[in-house]
Structure 1
C-alpha cells in the first residue's frame, strides 16, 4: 500500500512514473486556470463555464431534484456553489468543500485619477493582507467593470495579453533612499504611495489628464464620474511559471486560494456521484473577513441549501439546521509551510513541508487558538481514514509558532451551523505576495483529497 503519511519522504519520493506524469499534466491545467481567473469575477465566470460544459444547470430553474442532478448557484458573479445530488435526501447531509476565489490586490478608489507633475496616477486602496513594499516596480494589469452614465456595462482587462500596456507603482531609487531605508518594512511604502501610473502623454496646451479622459471617452465611452460605479482591480500581470530546472514548483499570483478552488472545481467535476450530496463552495471576500453579500457571512449559502431542500419537499429553517448538523466540510484554504530561509517562525515538528501532500490543520486562529474552529478527534480520524484508503498523501501542520503565527478561514462559520469541519488545504511559501510559490505535487494531492472526500460515505 502507498505510504500516505510521512515526515521524511516527499510526495515525489512516494510516486511512480505514471503518478508523476499526472502531477505535471495537472499543473499545466492549473496554470491555465490561474492565468484566466485573475479576479473573483473572472474565476466565477470560468468555473461556471466549465461546470455548464459538464452538464450543471442553474438550481433556480429546477422544478425538482433527483440523484445525479448537477446544479449551481451564481451569487452576483463573484461566488459560485456547485452541487451533485446524492442518493440520500439532501436533509441527510452534504459533503462540502469550501474554498475562496478572491486574493489580495490593489483596488482603485472611487475617485482614482489625479495628475501630479505631468503624470496621471490611479489612487488605490489595498485589499486583504499585503506587504506594501512588494507591490511597487512590478507589472500590473487592470481588470474589472465600470458603468457609464447611461447604464452601459464596460469590461476592462488590460495588461495580461502579450502587447498590452501594464501599470506601474514606482519606488524611490536606492541612491536617494537613505531616509526610507531607515524605516521598518511596514513603513517604507505607505498605502497612499501605492499609486499606479496610468498616463503621461501631453499634447499642445492639453494636459495629460485631459488627454487621458478624452482617450477613455473615445475608447470606452467612460467619463470621470463613471469611476464612482467601478470595480477595478490592479493585479500582478505576471503569468504563472514553473520554478526550478525540475519544474516541480509553480509561481503565480493568486494561489491563495485558487489552488484549493481549482482542486475543488476539478474534484466535483470528476467525482462519482455519491450517497451524500456533494457541494463545492467557491466564495468571495474571505481576505477581508467574508463580509458583504458575496462572502460567507451573508445568507446565500443558507438560501442555496434551503432551495435544495424545498425541491425535495422540505423547507423549514429547522430542516436547514438538521441538514447542516448531518453535513461534513473541508475548509479548503492554504496554509504556510516551513521556509528554510526563515525557519525561526516555525516549530519544525508541527510545521507543514512543501511537497509532502495536502495539509490538515486541526486548529487555526492566533495565540490561544482565538478565532479557531478546532476540529474534533472523531472527524480527524474519519478524514485520515478517507485519505489513507484513497492513497492521498497528507500531512498535518500549524500556521507558525504558537506566539508567532495565526490565521483564519471560513471553517468556524460552517461549524456555527453544526457541521463537522476541518481546515484542509495546500501548504505554500510567500503567501499573500504578488507571486506565491507551491509544489505541483501538493496541488495535485489537494485535488485527489477533495475528490476522495466527495466520493466517501
Structure 2
C-alpha cells in the first residue's frame, strides 16, 4: 500500500538550516540529538545499565550518534531497520601546534582531512568550528562563524603556467590559511583567541578538535530554484534525512514490525577505523545491549541480526554535463530524479539483488522514483560504510544516496527535490 509522502520542499529548507548549523561532526550530532529530544527521545549513557523501556533512545559518542525506537509490542528478537550515514566531510583541520606564519603574516597550521578538492578551499572566507576539551574533562562546542581565515591563491602574474598546465598545490606549503598580520608568532595564540570567543578562562583548554568551514550559507540556485548549493552535503544530507525519517516513524501511527535505527558515524572519509567509525564496535554494541535490555538471549540477538537490513545512505555522483565520458554510458543518474541505488560487483558497495528488492519496495511504497549508479569500468569506484557494516555485523546492507555534483568540494550541488524524496523513501523503509 502506497503511503502519503511525509516530506516536501519544506524538508529541503530545513536541510539548509541543518547544514549551516553543523560545521563539524560534533555539531551535526548535537543538532540531530536536539531534534530527537523534541520528539521524545532520551539519551542513554553508555556507562549506565540499560533497561527494556520502550520508546526512543540515543547514544552520543564524539561525532557519532546511534538512535533507535522500541515499539510497545517489540520482542527481544525483533529485527532492526537501520539507516546508516556519516557525519564527517573532507576539510582542513587544525594541527596540535597551530600557530605559524612568516613574512608579516600570521597563519594557522592545518592538516588535510580526507580527500577534499583542494582548490575549492582557496580564496574563500572561512570560519573555525569543532570542540574544546577542558581541564575538568568536559567538552565545549565551538563555532566561530565569521570571516576569520583565508587560504590565498597565488596571483597568475607569479605563476603563468597555471593557465596552461592547471593548478598544482603542495598540501604542506600551499594550504595554510592566513588570519592576521604580524612578525611575532606565539604558541597558544589561536587557542587563547578561541577561548576568548567562547567565554572560557584562559588556559582551561587542554585539547581541541578544530576545523575550518566556509561561512557562505546554503542557497537555492537556478532559474526556478531547482538546485541547492551548500557545504557538507556529503554526508549531512543523509544524516538529516535519516533523523527526520526516524522522528516521523517514531511519532507516527503506522505499526512497526521492526525497530527503526539511525546510525551516523564519524571518520568515513578516512577509513572508518575509530571508536566512532563504522568499523568500530559502536553499532553492534548498541544493538546487542538493546536486545539484552529487553530480556533477550544470545539466540535472540542472532535472530534479530539475521532479519535486520541496513540502508547505507551516502551521496553519489550525478552525471556531470562537462565530463559525461567519466560515467558509465548506460548509468547516468540525474539531479532531481530521486535517490540512487549504488551497485559494484567488487563489493565497494554492499548492494546485491535481494537488497535492491528491499529498496525498490520502499520507494514503491513511498511513491518515490529511484535511479541506479554503477562506476565506469575504467574508473576506480569509491566506497562507503555499507560493506563495512555488512561484514562487521553480518547485516544485509544496501548502498543508496542522493546524486550530487562537486563531491568533496567545500560547496556541493544537488537537486532541490532529492533530499525530501530520499527522506520519504527512508520513512517507508523504516516502517517496513
Distance 1:133 1:24 in 2: 32
Q: Secondary structure at the match of 2:93?
A: strand
Checking the alignment, whether the CA contact within 8 Å between 1:199 and 1:208 is kept in structure 2 is no
* Secondary structure at 1:265 match in 2: helix
- Is residue 34 from structure 1 mapped to residue 10 from structure 2 by the alignment? no
Shift of 1:34: 0.7
**Aligned counterpart, 1:64:** 51
Unaligned runs of 5+ in 2: none
- 1:221 offset after TM fit, Å? 4.2
Report Cα offsets for 1:86-129 as digits up to 9, x if no partner: 43424231000101111111001111111301211111111111
Q: 3-state SS of the aligned residue for 1:64?
A: coil
Match of 1:407 in 2: 382
* Counterparts in 2 of 1:90 and 1:33: CA distance versus 1, 3 Å: farther
Secondary structure of the equivalent of 2:418?
A: helix
Q: Which residue of 1 aligns with 2:143?
A: 157
How far the C-alpha of 1:330 sits from its partner, in A, is: 0.6
Of Structure 1 and Structure 2, the greater helix share is in: 1
Quick one: distance in 2 between partners of 1:403 and 1:276? 40
Shift of the alpha carbon at 1:183?
Answer: 5.1
- Whole-angstrom distance in 2 between the partners of 1:93 and 1:395: 27
Partners of 1:426 and 1:173 lie apart in 2 by 37
- Is 1:380 the equivalent of 2:350? no
Deviations, residues 53-98 of structure 1 (Å, cap 9, x unaligned): 111012346753355x11111123x111111114342423100010
CA contact 2:98–2:190 (8 Å) conserved in 1 = no
- Retained in 2: the 8 A contact 1:124–1:192? no
How far 1:38 moved relative to its partner?
1.4
- Partners of 1:27 and 1:177 lie apart in 2 by 42
For residues 351 and 417 of structure 2, the distance between their equivalents in structure 1, rounded to whole angstroms, comes to 26
| 1:354 aligned residue | 335
Instruction: Give the secondary structure class of the aligned counterpart of 2:149.
Output: coil
CA gap of 1:178–1:293, structure 2 versus 1, over 3 A, is: same
Report the equivalent of 1:323.
Answer: 304
Question: Please, what TM-score do these two structures have when normalized by structure 1?
Answer: 0.84
| 1:114-133 superposed matches below 5 A | 114-133=100-119
Moved more, 441-450 or 345-354: 345-354
Change (3 A) 1:198 1:90: farther
Partner residue of 1:299 out of 262, 269, 281? 281
Deviation at 1:41, TM superposition (A): 0.3
Alpha-carbon shift at residue 315 of structure 1 (Å): 4.7
Instruction: Provide the rounded CA distance (Å) in 1 between the counterparts of 2:394 and 2:152.
Output: 49
| 2:26–2:131 CA contact under 8 A, matched in 1 | no
CA distance in 1, matches of 2:266, 2:194: 31
Bigger drift between 57-66 and 113-122 goes to 57-66
Distance 2:100 2:326 in 1: 41
Partner SS, residue 188 of structure 1: coil
Describe the shift of the 1:322–1:412 C-alpha distance in structure 2 as closer, same or farther (beyond 3 A). farther
Q: How has the CA–CA distance of structure 1 residues 51 and 355 changed in structure 2, closer, same or farther, with 3 Å as cutoff? A: same
Q: Residues of 1 paired with 2:109 and 2:139: CA distance?
A: 22
Matched residue, 1:7: none
Cα-Cα RMSD? 2.8
Measure how far apart 1:236 and its partner are.
1.3
Q: Secondary structure at the match of 2:88?
A: coil
Deviations 1:402-441, CA, capped at 9 Å, x for gaps: 1114110111122122221111111111111011000111
CA contact (8 A) 1:286 1:295 kept: yes
Question: CA contact under 8 A between 1:132 and 1:191: conserved in structure 2?
Answer: no
Which residue is 2:129 aligned to? 143
Q: Between Structure 1 and Structure 2, how many residues are aligned?
A: 421
Write out aligned runs for 1:77-96 (5 A): 78-86=63-71, 87-96=73-82
Q: Does 1:216 find its partner at 2:218?
A: no
1:240 aligned onto 2:215:
no
1:45 is aligned to 2:21: no
C-alpha separation in 1, matches of 2:30 and 2:43: 13
Contact kept? 2:7, 2:424, Cα under 8 Å: no
CA offsets 1:381-400 (integer angstroms, 9 cap, x no match)? 232123113211211122x3
Q: Which of 399, 403, 419 is residue 443 of structure 1 equivalent to?
A: 419
> In structure 2, how many angstroms separate the alpha carbons of the residues matched to 1:218 and 1:422?
44
